[in-house]
């Protein structure tokens, strides 16, 4: 986890979103607030966050498969 608890508290990140990718959610939410959640804004931030979520999912699935093989 690259974002500290203080950073997440300051940015008011809900507990269920405080995961491996929370460090990318902070700038995404800031951008969303500045642009009134316009869908065509913040595309780079959103893509980076969604890719991080996908990569984290793939990593967790590899770990699960490794545990099941043992």
- The pLDDT tens digits of the residues spanning 24-53 come to 999 999 999 999 999 899 999 999 999 999
Mean pLDDT of the chain: 95
Q: What's the pLDDT band for 56 if we cut at 50, 70, 90? A: very high
Tokens 């590899």 correspond to 62
What is the model's pLDDT at position 32? 96
Q: What's the pLDDT band for 23 if we cut at 50, 70, 90? A: very high
Q: What's the pLDDT band for 1 if we cut at 50, 70, 90? A: low
What is the rounded CA–CA span in Å between residue 12 and residue 6? 10
């Amino acid at each position: 986890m690259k974002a500290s608890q203080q950073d997440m508290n300051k940015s008011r990140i809900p507990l269920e979103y405080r995961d491996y990718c929370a460090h990318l959610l902070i700038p995404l939410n800031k951008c969303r607030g500045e642009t009134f959640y316009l869908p065509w804004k913040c595309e780079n931030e959103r893509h980076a966050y969604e890719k991080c979520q996908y990569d984290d999912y793939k990593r967790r699935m590899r770990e699960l498969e490794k545990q099941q093989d043992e």
